[in-house]
């Protein structure tokens, strides 16, 4: 089930957190992996070693997803490696949770450029390589905050709402050749929220707001991404799949 043998999958933001867990998961499923990072080559080298032990190959690329030229360059390197991309997972992302009065002149646009335009430009640059695959699939990464409001972090929430609609629009435009789906994780324990989790009241409030009673882990998200990349999801496109412990149910 959910076998990815012989595939080549590019994962942005692969040095840590959800991207890293996805890289290991797809390698376990038999795929070769292109690991993208912005400035964490050492962690990607270590991850490449772990992937080699699973019997898969990894290639490392780097660049800023808020910079379309960088994206063009690292996607070319990724695609030229095996001459195609069978999958793309856009896990690179930036969280800012500031209340509105504290959002400075460039704070809003940097989140939109990274999370929303970065996702779109990465898909766009990958198209020539995805088109060379037999059954290509893209998985974008939204958030439970893409459809359910929280106090603070307006730019992040607007960007993730944009990722969800961009996912549906791309799914329609690229059908029937390329499937495009999103995962929308709930509260996942990663570096992104390490500072927030240091406050025990916040950590407990999140667990209490989650019907399944705990924070999520990157490994809760990775198998769902693997499913969306696999042939078992061959008739699934334009879906935003919550992986959130039931947060929206409340």
Q: Which residues contact ligand NAD (rule: CB under 6 A)? A: 13, 15-19, 38, 64-66, 91-95, 114, 141, 143, 185, 187-188, 190-193
Edge-first strand order for the sheet with 8-12 is: 58-62, 32-37, 8-12, 87-90, 137-141, 179-185, 240-243
Query: CB-wise, 133 or 156, nearer to ligand NAD?
Result: 156
Q: How far is the CB of 167 from ligand NAD (least distance, A)?
A: 13
Smallest distance from the beta carbon of 39 to ligand NAD, in angstroms? 7
Please give the DSSP secondary-structure letter assigned to residue 115.
I
CB of 68 or CB of 185, closer to ligand NAD: 185
The yes-or-no answer on residue 156 being catalytic is yes
Distances (CA, A) of 182 to 120, 137, 166, 206: 12, 11, 10, 23
For the chain, the maximum distance between any two Cα atoms, rounded to a whole number of angstroms, is 51
Closer residue to ligand NAD (CB): 133 or 164 = 164
**Smallest distance from the beta carbon of 134 to ligand NAD, in angstroms?**
28
Nearer to ligand NAD, 154 or 188 (CB): 188
Shortest distance (Å) from residue 38 CB to ligand NAD: 4
Candidates 129, 156, 187, 227; catalytic one: 156
d(CA 28, CA 44) in angstroms, rounded, equals 17
State the Cα–Cα distance between residues 86 and 137, nearest whole angstrom. Answer: 6
Asked whether 137 and 178 are in contact (CB, 8 A), the reply is yes
Enumerate the active-site residues: 156
């Amino acid at each position: 089930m959910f076998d990815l043998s012989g595939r080549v999958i590019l994962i942005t933001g692969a040095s840590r957190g959800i991207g890293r867990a996805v890289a290991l998961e797809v390698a376990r499923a038999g795929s070769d992996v292109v690991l993208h990072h912005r400035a964490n080559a050492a962690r990607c080298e270590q991850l490449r070693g772990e992937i080699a032990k699973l019997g898969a190959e990894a290639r490392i690329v780097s660049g800023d997803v808020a910079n379309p030229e960088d994206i063009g360059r690292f996607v070319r390197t990724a695609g030229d490696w095996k001459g195609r991309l069978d999958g793309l997972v856009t896990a690179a992302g930036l969280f800012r949770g500031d209340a509105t009065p504290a959002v400075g002149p460039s704070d809003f646009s940097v989140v939109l450029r990274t999370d929303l335009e970065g996702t779109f430009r990465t898909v766009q640059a990958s198209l020539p390589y995805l088109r060379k695959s037999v059954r290509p699939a893209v998985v974008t990464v939204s958030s439970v905050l893409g459809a359910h409001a929280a106090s603070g972090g307006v730019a992040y929430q607007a960007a993730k709402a944009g990722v969800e609609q961009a996912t549906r629009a791309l799914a329609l435009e690229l059908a029937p050749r390329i499937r495009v789906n999103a995962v929308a994780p709930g509260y996942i324990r990663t570096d992104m929220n390490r500072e927030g989790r240091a406050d025990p009241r916040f950590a407990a409030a999140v667990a209490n707001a989650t019907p399944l009673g705990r924070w999520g882990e990157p490994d809760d998200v990775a198998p769902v991404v693997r499913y969306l990349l696999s042939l078992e999801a061959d008739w699934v496109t334009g879906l935003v799949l919550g992986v959130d412990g039931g947060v929206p149910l409340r």
